Structure 1
Amino acid sequence: MKKVGILGGTFSPPHNGHLIIANEVMSALELDEIWFMPNQVPPHKERPDTASNENRLEMLRLALEGNEKFKIETIEWQRSGASYTIDTMKILTDLYPGQHFYFIIGADMIEYLPKWHKIDELAELVNFVGVDRPSYSHETKYPITLVNIPVIDISSSLIRERLGNGKTVRYLLPDSVRQYIKENHLYGT
């Protein structure tokens, strides 16, 4: 059975923190692949930027270049409205019955798990993998595998803010993504 990690997010923009998380989890759990799954409208946050789905997809494609074990899964874009993980994972388990899914979340989401839509049912479908983030608790009643990763406090919102203020984002995201943002005048550049 193929072991696949799922890393969801807005990826607006994708950054080196995302890549480090994916690589560390894949190595620690000996996963076969990591699927990066850009979401449409996460139920817990607003879309805070102006990057289109096409922009986000191209930036993600650029960020993943050179790693054949990193894939993009756009299944969430095929549905409209709020996107719930349970619905997505039901579809993926039906489409790929030979896969065992590991859903990767940050420590901020570990604390939030009790509020997830149909969390008990979801916990039966996937293995949750939690990665460390500063200042968050790992306590939860749900089964979760913790993976220690180097502390990398980079976020897409930090990058968007820095870009909007004309500050450097060099070394925070792949150069190809940084160049794409500049060429396409995203995030106030």
Structure 2
Amino acid sequence: MKKVGILGGTFDPPHNGHLLIANEVLDALGLDEIWFIPNHEPPHKHKSGGANNADRVKMLELATRSHPNFKIDKIELERTGPSYTYDTMKLLNEMHPGYDFYFIIGADMIEYLANWYKIDELIEMVKFVGVNRPDYQEISQYPIINVSVPEMGVSSKLVRDRLKEKKSIRYLVPEPVQEYIEENKLYES
């Protein structure tokens, strides 16, 4: 049985924190692969005026290409409307019977799980993996596999803000992602 971790997000842009989390969960749980799934329209976030879908996918490809166990799945980009995890996991389970899926969330989302769309049905389809984040509890009424990851205070918002302020993003994002951002003049104000 193939064990696959799912890391969803806007990846606007993908950064080294995403890669660190994915690698730590892959290793800690002995997973076969991590699938990065860029959101089309996350239900809990407002559009930030960032990169378009094609640019976000290209940056993810550049960020993950050196890791043989990292894959990109565009399932949410191929649908319209909000990207509910329930709908995505229902489709993935239908497409890949016999796979065990592990959905990776930050501690901020652990606290919010009770509010997720169809959470009671969702926990029957996927195992949740919670990773620590500063200032958040890792406690839930739902079953969570906790994985401790080294803290890295980087976020996509931080990267976008630094770019707008004309500050360096070196070592915050993989070098090919930085080059792509610069070549395509992404996130300029």
**TMscore range, shorter length:** over 0.9
Code of the residue aligned with 1:152 in structure 2: it is: M
Contact 2:12–2:50 at 8 Å: present in 1 too? no
Contact 1:133–1:153 at 8 Å: present in 2 too? no
TM-score, normalised by the number of residues in structure 1: 0.98
Aligned residue pair count: 189
Which residue of structure 1 lines up, in the alignment, with residue 185 of structure 2? Answer: 185
Superposition RMSD on alpha carbons, in Å? Answer: 0.8
Code of the residue aligned with 2:30 in structure 1: it is: E
The whole-number CA distance in structure 2 between the counterparts of 1:23 and 1:98 is 23
Code of the residue aligned with 1:9 in structure 2: it is: G
Identity among equivalent pairs (%): 59
Q: Secondary structure at the match of 2:102?
A: strand
Q: CA deviation at 1:79?
A: 1.0
Q: CA deviation at 1:50?
A: 3.0
Code of the residue aligned with 1:112 in structure 2: it is: Y
The whole-number CA distance in structure 1 between the counterparts of 2:143 and 2:10 is 25
Contact 1:11–1:156 at 8 Å: present in 2 too? yes
The whole-number CA distance in structure 1 between the counterparts of 2:176 and 2:133 is 26
Which residue of structure 2 lines up, in the alignment, with residue 103 of structure 1? Answer: 103
Q: Secondary structure at the match of 2:43?
A: coil
The whole-number CA distance in structure 2 between the counterparts of 1:78 and 1:16 is 26
Q: CA deviation at 1:139?
A: 1.2
Q: CA deviation at 1:112?
A: 0.6
Q: Secondary structure at the match of 1:77?
A: coil
Mapping of 1:79-90 within 5 angstroms? 79-90=79-90
Which residue of structure 2 lines up, in the alignment, with residue 5 of structure 1? Answer: 5
The whole-number CA distance in structure 2 between the counterparts of 1:107 and 1:38 is 19
TM-score, normalised by the number of residues in structure 2: 0.98
Mapping of 1:23-172 within 5 angstroms? 23-172=23-172
The whole-number CA distance in structure 1 between the counterparts of 2:99 and 2:88 is 14
Q: CA deviation at 1:65?
A: 1.2
The whole-number CA distance in structure 2 between the counterparts of 1:13 and 1:51 is 8
